[in-house]
């Protein structure tokens, strides 16, 4: 039997990026959750995570909880599946007690 190719997966959400490696049969070997910060920091962290994994391909699922300005997921609407540009939210700062 031929050796399976290692593939990567990235779920790109608004508050976190979930990175994983595994095989096409659904076997997951590694998984990491990266909290989004600035676009540059987040992309650098994702790139660093995948850098030495030796994956043959990467699948990206850029889907958040809303697909259009305030609209819930509805496959019938024209913007379904399109990720609109969104500002990056800064993490909330806790006040010192």
Model pLDDT, residue 53: 96
90-71-80 Cα angle (round to 5): 100
Q: Which pTM does this prediction carry? A: 0.64
Q: What is the 3-state secondary structure of 28-76?
A: EEEEEEEECCCHHHHHHHHHHHHCCCCCCEEEEECCCCCCECCECCCCC
Model pLDDT, residue 52: 95
Mean of pLDDT values over 9-24:
91
24-70 pLDDT, tens digit each? 999 999 999 999 988 899 999 999 999 999 999 999 887 655 545 55
CA distance 26 to 64: 22
Average pLDDT of the chain is: 79
Pairing of strands 57-61, 16-22: unpaired
């Amino acid at each position: 039997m031929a050796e399976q190719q290692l593939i990567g997966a990235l779920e790109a959400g608004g508050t976190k990026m979930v990175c994983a490696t595994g095989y096409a049969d659904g076997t997951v070997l590694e998984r990491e959750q990266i909290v989004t910060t600035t676009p540059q920091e987040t992309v650098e962290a994702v790139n660093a995570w995948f850098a030495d994994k030796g994956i043959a391909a990467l699948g990206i699922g850029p889907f958040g909880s809303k697909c259009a300005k305030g609209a819930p997921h509805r496959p019938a609407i024209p913007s379904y599946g399109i990720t609109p540009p969104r500002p990056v939210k800064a993490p909330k700062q806790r006040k010192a007690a």
